[in-house]
Each structure stands twice: as C-alpha cells, then as structure tokens.
Structure 1
Amino acid sequence: MFKDLFATMNDVLDGILTDYPDADEEKTVELAEQLQMLKSMSDNCLEEWLRFEERLADCRSKLVPAPELVSSTDAEGEKPPASEHFTRGQGYYKLYMFPEAVNEFDKLVKEHPDFVLGRVYLAMGYLRLGELAEAYRHFQLLVPLTKSTKLKAISYNAMGCIQVHNQNMDQAYDFFKMADMTDSSFMEPSLWSKEFWPYRRT
C-alpha cells in the first residue's frame, strides 16, 4: 500500500520536473499547487508515522520489557524514560532528519541528564550535522557517564576523528589508542599504531 502511494507521488513529482521548464504562467501555477499537495501528503505521512511509532513504543513497554527499544550498542540495558522526546527523536534520527532529532534529544537530555542512550543519540546527531564542537562536548560527557566499554570506545573514536578534522594528529592518536585499549574488538591495532598511523588504516 505504502509502496504504491509513494510510487504515485514520485510519478507526479517526475511530471512536475519534466513540465516545469516549458510551462506557461497558468501551467506554472498548476504545477506549484501539485507540488504543495505532495508536500502536504509527505508531511501528513510523517506525522501519522511518528504518532503510530509513539503508540507502538508505548504498547511494547506495557506488554513486554522491550529490548527493541534499547540500542544494541547500549550494553548497560537502560530502559528509555517515559518521554515523548525519546520516541520522536529516534523516529527523526531513523529518517535522517538530524536537526529535528537533535532538538528532541537535547530536550530529553535536559530532562534526564544521566540517560546514556539519549546522550549517545544527541552526540551522534550533532556529529551527523557537522557541529563538531557540540558533538565533542557530549562525547566527553558520555565517557564518565557510561559503564559500557563499547560506548566508551565509540566516544573515544569519535573524538579522535574530530581531532583529525581539526588537524590535531597527536591528540587524535591518543584517542584512537584509548578506544582500542577500552574495547579491543572495536578497532584494529594498526589504526592507532604510531609506526603506521595516520597513513595506514588496514
């Protein structure tokens, strides 16, 4: 059903793209109305999907202690707090809508500053947006907050990548080494070996 709907919407959009360059004034108005209709349909689909995702999460939390709601990277097995910001933030993140996801997780972390998984999403959201200073700050806060060696290693690795971006190679090397020492399954030793790094990565 959804596949057919979006196939039709894509066909209409393709038609708009094809007709627009040669359209007269009347046709341009018609195409603009079609485009607005597609935008409204898209917004409604997203809104309904988020509403359903919230209800689904609520149902799962009541019927089953829901491991699906906890990221597999969160070895501490935290249960998400009763907050709509978490559900909405996850939904936006999965849709690659990172500004909206960051907005939700920022509110969540302010309400629950010790909720590890919320801060993971917030840090990764900032990273995906290219806001490296904010991402770095939250990864720094995450390291002492979590007991999970995997999350610590992910945080060290992310901070190392940010230091590479900032051309601070010695600091990047130190973070990559800490990531490997924290969780030896997370990174190849050659990634941080000074004999090869940063020229050899395999």
Structure 2
Amino acid sequence: MFQHVFAEMNEMLDEIARHYPIAQGVHKHELSRKWHLLQQMSDSMIEEWLNFEEKMGTLRQSGIRLEEKCELDYPEMNDDAFVKGQGYYKLLMFSQSLLQFQAVLEEYPESLIGRTYLAMCHLHLDQSDEAVHYFEEVLKAAANKRLRSIIYNALGCIEVKRGARSKAREYFTLAYHSDPTLPEPLANWEACLHSTGKLQYGTQLISLL
C-alpha cells in the first residue's frame, strides 16, 4: 500500500540531490520547499508508525483473537489506481492524482470517496466548477457526517474565492454542524472575517479512511 508513496518520495529526493547544487532562484526555492515537505512527511510517518506499533503490541497482549477478516467499507481502496492516487495526493501532485481517481471511478462508478478525492484534486488545481459538480454528487448520497463536513468546508472555500462571503458562511456552518470536531470550518471562517491566513481544505480527507 505504501510502496508507491515511497517510490515518489525517493524520486523527489533524487531530483533534489541532482539539481539543488546548481539550482538558482525560483528553481532552488522550489527544491528547498520539496526538501522541507519530505522532511515533514518522514518525521510524521516515523511518529505515526511508532504509535501504531505500540497500539498493535497492546492489542496482541490483550489476548483478543482477531482471525476473522472484515469486509472493507471501501473495496476500491485495494485498487492500484486508488493507492497511486492517494500517494500522489499526499505529495501534493494533484494533476497526477486526478488521473488516478478518474481511473478509480471508471472501475467503481459509485465510489463516494473516489469522487471526493477527484473533486479535491480539481479544487487544488483551481478548477472550481468541476470540483463543485463532484462535491454535489457526493452530498446526494453520502451519509457519513465527517465526509459531508469535509465537503461543505471545501464548498465554503470555493465561495470565499468567488467573493460570496454570505454563501461561504452557510457552507462553513453546515460543515461545523455536520461534524463539530473538524477544525477547518471555524478556522476558515475566522480567516475569511479578518482576511488573514490561508484557506484549509482536504487535509482531513486521508484520515477519514
């Protein structure tokens, strides 16, 4: 599941090693940004893995028998295109991620999580109309409150970009009421009121699964 993510990270690291010593200006700044991104991802992965191993050890020692396999809520997660798409998404490579999730929907046309990822990719690529189309499709069928909150928050960000603050507030309010534990809607509304900070969307999508 993680092989593709590490392959992309290694490829990015190789690019930095080859070009940073001779890079200048904007190119050097971009390579530096990628280096800091990789460093953050590495630190985060190590910390999360240690926490995971600790919990696994506790569960093993509890004596609980875990022999039966549970059916996945999202069978498309085993699809190669889904794994690649999520890997690209984590690396902020949204154009490549979009292509993978288009392939996921060809195989799983009813996939709500695949459609949500596709919409988020469009949003990150400043293709707001396409993003709204897919978000609205998901909202018609999604019962998961966390997923609905993530989508309402993203729709609020789109309205902020369009200059429609009143509509944005409606969406941020819907996002908050759908799942009050999601931190992004309140932070975005605060940023909107004071015209400060960067809008946040899609960061909680991966942790949804």
| TM-score under structure 1 length normalisation | 0.57
CA pair 64-159 structure 1, distance change in 2 beyond 3 A:
farther
Which residues of 2 match residues 21-40 of structure 1 at below 5 A? none
CA pair 66-85 structure 1, distance change in 2 beyond 3 A:
farther
CA pair 113-12 structure 1, distance change in 2 beyond 3 A:
closer
Percent identity of paired positions between Structure 1 and Structure 2: 27
The one-letter code sitting in structure 2 at the alignment partner of 1:91 is: G
* Structure 1 counterpart of 2:100: 104
- Find the residue that maps to 1:127 and give its secondary structure: helix
| CA radius of gyration, larger in | 1
Q: Is 2:140 aligned against 1:134?
A: no
Answer whether contact 2:145 2:179 (CA < 8 A) is retained.
Answer: yes
Q: Structure 2: 5+ residue runs without aligned partners?
A: 1-6, 25-66, 197-209
Q: Is 2:145 aligned against 1:149?
A: yes
Answer whether contact 1:179 1:187 (CA < 8 A) is retained.
Answer: no
Q: Structure 1: 5+ residue runs without aligned partners?
A: 19-62, 71-76
Which is further off, 167-176 or 147-156? Answer: 167-176
Answer whether contact 2:132 2:155 (CA < 8 A) is retained.
Answer: yes
RMSD: 3.9
* Structure 1 counterpart of 2:177: 181
Answer whether contact 2:172 2:185 (CA < 8 A) is retained.
Answer: no
Q: Distance in 1 between matches of 2:105 and 2:126?
A: 20
CA pair 137-17 structure 1, distance change in 2 beyond 3 A:
same
Which is further off, 157-166 or 110-119? Answer: 110-119
Which residues of 2 match residues 6-155 of structure 1 at below 5 A? 10-17=16-23, 77-80=73-76, 83-155=79-151
CA pair 185-87 structure 1, distance change in 2 beyond 3 A:
closer
Shift of the alpha carbon at 1:94?
Answer: 2.4
- Find the residue that maps to 2:110 and give its secondary structure: coil
Q: Distance in 1 between matches of 2:182 and 2:108?
A: 28
* Structure 2 counterpart of 1:199: 193
CA pair 178-99 structure 1, distance change in 2 beyond 3 A:
same
Q: Is 2:176 aligned against 1:170?
A: no
Q: Distance in 2 between matches of 1:143 and 1:4?
A: 37
Answer whether contact 1:156 1:178 (CA < 8 A) is retained.
Answer: yes
